[in-house]
Amino acid sequence: MLIRPLEERDISSVALITDPLDDAIVLGNLFGCRELCDFLGAERDGEIIGVAETFHAFPFPNFNFHCKDADSLPPLIDGLIARNARLQGEVYAMLPESKLQVLRKNFTFLHEEPEYQMILSDKCEAQPCALQVARLSSQHIPLATRLAEEAGLSAWYEGVFDRGPVYGTFSDSGELVAMAGTHCVTRYISEIGHVATHSDYRRKGLASACMRELAKELSAVTDKIMLMVAPGNEGAVKAYEKLGFRHHQTLQLISIRP
């Protein structure tokens, strides 16, 4: 088995062995921002049988993987750690049960926290909104960063605007008070994320209005639209259900120390 950096010629092979819902993070990073990642592939007899990757832009050490052959996972993880010093401590991953079973055979989990994966099953219908929703641009990065900090978005980084569209709404004074962006946009699947509302403007449907406009744009370029939400956040779950999202499966946010 050969562990090596993934190359351009390998991309179509990876797309064939992955599942859009179980591997949304891998596919999003592969097709949306490979330049911000470190991808390794496991090759046997000229065939890619596994991939592992880390996304550099997140403020916390992270990894994800897909292995057609479970035996390829340990050397892939070892290879990532050797190339990325920040993976030598506690690292995080969002994984479905199929991947958790593979990972448990080789690593001890330090932390597990459930997250619902919700899929858009119905078209988002337009609803009245107190404030106008607009597509944001890079000039709005400072305002979006301020809102992300106020809302406590742990995975926010300024490069979000390079990943896909971001929609927001402004107060009369010009302050960005709600927004919704994307974690990834691919033709297979796109993930909505970075949903935030300023604490003074909550329960007015502003973030939902941003998500409607975002979903409308994404639906023209992708097969599936998903998002992640904590099961305990019942208000958000109900709001997403009203938008047409349905629970597909429960993933786990886990951490390990390789």
Instruction: Tell me how far CA of residue 198 lies from CA of 16, 87, 94, 153, 207, in angstroms.
Output: 41, 33, 26, 12, 10
Kindly tell me if the per-residue pLDDT of 139 is higher than 60. Answer: yes
Q: Which CATH superfamily is domain 119-251 in?
A: Gcn5-related N-acetyltransferase (GNAT) (3.40.630.30)
At residue 222, the pLDDT reads 93
At residue 20, the pLDDT reads 87
Give the pair of three-digit tokens for residue 36.
Answer: 């911000």
Residue 33 pLDDT grade (very low, low, confident, very high; cuts 50, 70, 90): confident
Q: Among residues of the chain, what percentage have pLDDT more than 70?
A: 96
The model's pLDDT over 179-222, given as tens digits with 9 standing for 90+, comes to 999 999 999 899 999 999 999 999 899 999 999 999 999 999 99
At residue 31, the pLDDT reads 87
Residue 124 pLDDT grade (very low, low, confident, very high; cuts 50, 70, 90): low
The model's pLDDT over 63-100, given as tens digits with 9 standing for 90+, comes to 999 998 889 999 999 999 999 999 999 999 999 998 99
Q: How far apart are CA 118 and CA 21, in angstroms?
A: 10
Average pLDDT value for the chain: 92
Residue 10 pLDDT grade (very low, low, confident, very high; cuts 50, 70, 90): confident
Where do you find CATH 3.40.630.30 in the chain? 2-107, 119-251
Kindly report the CATH class assigned to 2-107: alpha beta
What is the mean pLDDT of the segment spanning 29-49?
A: 91
Kindly tell me if the per-residue pLDDT of 175 is higher than 70. Answer: yes
Residue 128 pLDDT grade (very low, low, confident, very high; cuts 50, 70, 90): low
At residue 16, the pLDDT reads 67
What is the mean pLDDT of the segment spanning 237-251?
A: 95
Q: How far apart are CA 197 and CA 207, in angstroms?
A: 6
